[in-house]
């Protein structure tokens, strides 16, 4: 079997705090193939950003990667030197951060931003300026905005610019951490459609992080659900929509307001557990209507429950 574009295996990340470590992710494993959009969804604090930042090696203090592996086309990212990382980032993988709207420097023009990124990879002069124009065309922003400062652009335009910069070196993999959360729904849908069109044209893969499972149902190829630092289910979108099996995933789907049904959305009872002091066994068991005795004591591993369908749930093991 050829190596996938990205293989994350048993990734453990902790944030070291004075009163003990926060185990932000535990044993997170997934793969990402060329050209697919894998959506990661979960409540605030479930570890989504931590997974993306760890995989890109941009986590700083007080975070430590305490275990696992991240391989990009078979190469171990966790062992890359700083020089190797500098080459690898932007050329092979880029990231649109959660705070993308604030990611631009207010005293730099759009052109300055693009030139900075290109210069870090040896593209300068006329070639860089030409590329900057092409990138604005790509994200459908008029080229005269190369001279604009961030405050002169709307939120949606800034987001497109950031997307264009992420594609500056046409990397095969782009991480996007809630890139549209700060935008209104109409602009969000416009940007998502643009993203999917670009993805189809250029063929890059996306790890797309969001709170909004309905956005993923519309745009993702596969969906992964995070709960309390664990990946609890991964399935292709269609299968997830029609046959999610983990009780938490079912809860997420049940909480989506629907216009084609009289059924009222039902929110998941309870609140997410503390990562400092997580409940024993399955971390979801205190909120789970289906919990068995074993769920209180033994942590369910992520296991394959069907073709391309993985879940971590004792109830599914005994069913």
Ligand X SMILES: Nc1ncnc2c1ncn2[C@@H]1O[C@H](COP(=O)(O)OP(=O)(O)OP(=O)(O)O)[C@@H](O)[C@H]1O
Q: Applying CB under 6 A, which residues contact ligand X? A: 15, 17, 22, 24, 42, 44-50, 62, 98, 211, 275
How distant, in Å, are the alpha carbons of 36, 60, 119, 254 from that of 56? Answer: 18, 11, 20, 33
Look at residues 302, 295, 301 and name the one whose alpha carbon lies nearest to residue 279.
295
Cβ-based nearer residue to ligand X, 57 or 211: 211
Lookup: tokens for 12: 């453990």
Cβ-based nearer residue to Mg ion, 98 or 249: 98
Q: 44 touches which of ligand X, Mg ion, none (CB within 5 to 8 A by kind)?
A: ligand X
Q: 266 touches which of ligand X, Mg ion, none (CB within 5 to 8 A by kind)?
A: none
Q: 56 touches which of Mg ion, ligand X, none (CB within 5 to 8 A by kind)?
A: none
Instruction: For residue 210, state whether it binds Mg ion (rule: CB under 5 A).
Output: no
Q: 150 touches which of ligand X, Mg ion, none (CB within 5 to 8 A by kind)?
A: none
Cβ-based nearer residue to ligand X, 11 or 244: 11
Contact region with Mg ion (CB under 5 A), list: 48-56, 134-142, 221-229, 272-280? 48-56
Q: 275 touches which of Mg ion, ligand X, none (CB within 5 to 8 A by kind)?
A: ligand X
Contact region with Mg ion (CB under 5 A), list: 44-52, 160-168, 263-271, 301-309? 44-52
Smallest gap from residue 215 Cβ to ligand X (A)? 13
DSSP 134-184: HHHHHTT--GGGGG--GGGS-HHHHHHHHHHHHTTT--SEEEEESTTTTS-
Cβ-based nearer residue to ligand X, 45 or 236: 45
CB-CB neighbours of 73 under 10 Å: 14
Contact status, residue 79 vs residue 25, Cβ threshold 8 Å: no
Smallest gap from residue 284 Cβ to ligand X (A)? 15
Smallest gap from residue 53 Cβ to Mg ion (A)? 9
Contact status, residue 28 vs residue 195, Cβ threshold 8 Å: no
Contact status, residue 115 vs residue 121, Cβ threshold 8 Å: no
Lookup: tokens for 149: 């400062």
Contact status, residue 211 vs residue 44, Cβ threshold 8 Å: yes
| Residue 28 C-beta-side C-alpha neighbours within 13 Å | 30
How distant, in Å, are the alpha carbons of 6, 82, 193, 208, 252 from that of 219? Answer: 20, 34, 8, 10, 17
Smallest gap from residue 174 Cβ to Mg ion (A)? 16
Between CA 213 and CA 88 the distance in angstroms is 30
Cβ-based nearer residue to Mg ion, 44 or 271: 44
Q: 62 touches which of ligand X, Mg ion, none (CB within 5 to 8 A by kind)?
A: ligand X
Cβ-based nearer residue to ligand X, 16 or 85: 16
* Sheet with strand 20-32: strands edge to edge: 20-32, 6-17, 63-72, 75-76
Cβ-based nearer residue to ligand X, 64 or 78: 64
Smallest gap from residue 299 Cβ to ligand X (A)? 18
Cβ-based nearer residue to ligand X, 95 or 110: 95
Work out which of 46, 49, 199, 237 binds Mg ion, going by CB under 5 A.
49
Helix 155-166 to helix 185-202 angle, to the nearest 10 degrees? 20
Between CA 309 and CA 237 the distance in angstroms is 10
Q: Which residue is nearest to Mg ion (CB)?
A: 49
Residues numbered 59 to 98 that lie near Mg ion (CB under 5 A) are 98
Smallest gap from residue 48 Cβ to Mg ion (A)? 5
CB-CB neighbours of 193 under 10 Å: 12
Which residues in this chain contact Mg ion in the complex, by CB under 5 A?
49, 98
């Amino acid at each position: 079997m050829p190596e996938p574009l990205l293989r994350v295996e048993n990734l453990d990340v902790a944030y070291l705090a004075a009163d003990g470590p926060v185990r932000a992710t535990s044993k997170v494993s997934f793969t990402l193939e060329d050209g697919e959009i894998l959506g990661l969804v979960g409540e605030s604090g479930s570890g989504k950003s931590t997974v993306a930042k760890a995989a890109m090696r941009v986590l700083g203090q007080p975070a430590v990667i305490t275990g696992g592996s991240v391989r990009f086309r078979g190469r171990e990212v966790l062992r890359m030197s700083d020089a190797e990382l500098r080459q690898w980032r932007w050329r092979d993988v880029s990231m649109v951060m959660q705070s993308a709207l604030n990611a631009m420097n207010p005293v730099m023009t759009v052109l300055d931003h693009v030139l900075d990124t290109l210069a870090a990879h040896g593209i300068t002069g006329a070639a860089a300026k030409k590329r900057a124009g092409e990138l604005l065309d790509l994200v459908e922003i008029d080229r005269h905005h190369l001279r604009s400062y961030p405050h002169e652009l709307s939120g949606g335009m800034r987001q497109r610019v950031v997307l264009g910069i992420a594609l500056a070196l046409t990397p095969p993999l782009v991480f996007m951490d809630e890139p549209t959360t700060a935008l209104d729904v109409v602009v969000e849908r416009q940007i998502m459609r643009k993203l999917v069109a670009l993805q189809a044209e250029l063929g890059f893969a996306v790890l797309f992080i969001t709170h909004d499972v309905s956005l993923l149902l519309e745009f993702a190829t596969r969906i992964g659900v995070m709960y309390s630092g664990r990946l609890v289910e991964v399935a292709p979108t269609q299968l997830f929509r029609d046959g999610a099996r983990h009780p938490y995933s079912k809860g997420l789907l049940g909480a989506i307001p629907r216009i084609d049904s009289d059924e009222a959305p039902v929110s998941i009872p309870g609140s997410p557990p503390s990562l400092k002091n997580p409940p024993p066994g399955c971390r979801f068991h205190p909120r789970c209507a289906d919990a068995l005795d074993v769920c209180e004591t033994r942590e369910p591993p992520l296991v394959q429950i069907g073709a391309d369908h993985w879940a971590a749930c004792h109830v599914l093991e005994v069913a």
